[in-house]
Amino acid sequence: MDKILGMGNALVDVMTKLNNDSTLTELNLPKGSMQLVDANFSKQVIESTHHLNQVMTSGGSAANTIHGLARLGIESGFVGKVGADPLGVFFKEDLEEAGIEPFLLLSETPTGKAVALVSPDSERTFATYLGAAVELCASDINPGIFEGYQYFHIEGYLVQNHELIETAVKIAKEKGLKVSLDLASYNVVEENKDFLHRIVRDFVDIIFANEEEARAFTGKNPEESLNELAKLCEYAVVKIGKQGSLIKHGTDEARVGIIGIDAFDTTGAGDLYAAGFLYGMVLNLSLSKCGKMGALLSGKVIENLGAKISEKGWAFIKEHLE
């Protein structure tokens, strides 16, 4: 069976459920965005929310996707950079416990941390201190790590480092891997639009975008965005929240709904959708079935706090697969 290698920001997520959105206003964090912050601001966010319910998990968009794939039985690996500190150890052990091959470089800078503030309506806002994660660079990419893998999945949050992304996707394509990109955040797309257009056109086979990211990339509505993205790469997916997702491959199109669930926290919904979809790709399932797998995992992760599906959720998924 095909193996999938992921590359992304190696972060530890601190999930915090807010009672209301006043905290976001006080911290001047735009609701629903991913804001990059320094170590001091990260500490300020944690201190101002320490009285609330907080859960710590390993995270980062691509790592969440790879964790989901590992739970589905797909052999996988992850490339990232962490600090030589307790959070870095926590991150590495979490990968190994899931059966994921770690390709982690070490830095003297502290491990990155993403404080996810979850509003009562389940929308999440990230204050992300990238720390060691942002130090992953082009010279860290050893062509040997791609050997034995057939897919390479990267998160859009990395595109601020143009040289890193370009080096990695070039090597992946030279090694014959299919490249999968999750656009990750509308503000990151807006800031790197020209670069992203070129990378998607020249190197990307599978692209995932939500409605806001697709609009930032194309300036168009979901249906028109899907067509634009499908002209640039082999498979295009536009996720439209409660309306499900739109998928296109050549002239083949599919619209997939969501599974009926109670949304508690939408963190990881897009990451786990990508895991389900890529699982379907590995099994050569139809576009519709790939989308349904994405919807199944996405629906199960938002039932609880954080970007990991509960054991009860995995039991439901396993039963559904059988």
Does the pLDDT at position 9 exceed 80?
A: yes
Does the pLDDT at position 320 exceed 90?
A: no
Residue 240 contacts residue 222 (beta carbons within 8 Å) = yes
List the structure tokens of 146: 């791609």
Query: Cα Rg for the chain, rounded, in angstroms?
Result: 18
Residue 126 lies in a domain: no
Cα–Cα distance measured from residue 101 to residue 267, given in angstroms and rounded to the nearest whole number: 24
What pLDDT band is residue 33 in, cutting at 50, 70 and 90? confident
Burial 232-248 (b: 16+ CB within 10 A, else e): bbebbbbbbeeebbbbb
Q: How far does CA 302 lie from the centroid of its chain? A: 14
What pLDDT band is residue 13 in, cutting at 50, 70 and 90? confident
Residue 278 lies in a domain: yes
Of 110, 97, 166, 112, give the one whose Cα is nearest residue 138.
166
The pLDDT of residue 43 is 86
Residue 138 contacts residue 165 (beta carbons within 8 Å) = no
Give Cα separations from 19 to 155, 198, 303 (angstroms): 30, 42, 17
**Helix (H) or strand (E) run with residue 75 in it:** none
Give 262-311 pLDDT, tens digit per residue.
Answer: 665 566 688 999 999 999 999 999 999 999 999 989 888 776 766 677 78
Of 117, 96, 93, 104, give the one whose Cα is nearest residue 34.
117
Give 84-123 pLDDT, tens digit per residue.
Answer: 999 999 999 999 999 999 999 999 999 999 898 989 888 8
Residue 39 lies in a domain: no
What pLDDT band is residue 186 in, cutting at 50, 70 and 90? confident
Residue 30 lies in a domain: no
- Mean pLDDT over 10-29 rounds to 91
Query: For 20, left (φ over 0), alpha (ψ -120 to 50), or beta?
Result: beta
Predicted structure pTM score: 0.89
Cα–Cα distance measured from residue 18 to residue 44, given in angstroms and rounded to the nearest whole number: 15
Burial 80-106 (b: 16+ CB within 10 A, else e): bbbbebebbeebbebbeebebbbbbbe
Q: How far does CA 107 lie from the centroid of its chain? A: 23
Give 206-264 pLDDT, tens digit per residue.
Answer: 999 999 999 999 999 999 999 999 999 999 999 998 888 999 999 999 998 877 666 65
Q: Which residue has the higher pLDDT, 321 or 183?
A: 183
The parent domain of residue 65 ranges over 4-10+59-110+131-321
The pLDDT of residue 80 is 97
What pLDDT band is residue 79 in, cutting at 50, 70 and 90? very high
Query: How many separate domains does the chain show?
Result: 1
Eight-state DSSP code of residue 30: -
Contacts for 142 with CB less than 8 Å, ≥ 6 apart:
none
Q: Give the Cβ contact number of residue 172 at 10 Å.
A: 25
The pLDDT of residue 263 is 65
Q: Give the Cβ contact number of residue 30 at 10 Å.
A: 10
What is the maximal distance between C-alpha atoms in the chain?
52
What number of CA atoms fall less than 13 Å from residue 68's CA on the CB side? 36
List the structure tokens of 276: 């389900």
Residue 52 lies in a domain: no
Q: What average pLDDT does the structure give for the chain? A: 91
The pLDDT of residue 159 is 85
The pLDDT of residue 56 is 82
Residue 26 lies in a domain: no
Q: Which residue has the higher pLDDT, 59 or 204?
A: 204
The pLDDT of residue 316 is 86
Residue 42 lies in a domain: no
The pLDDT of residue 58 is 83
3-state SS string over 127-173?
EEECHHHHHCCHHHCCHHHHCCCCEEEEEHHHHHCHHHHHHHHHHHH
Q: What is the CATH number of the domain that holds 293?
A: 3.40.1190.20
Residue 119 lies in a domain: no
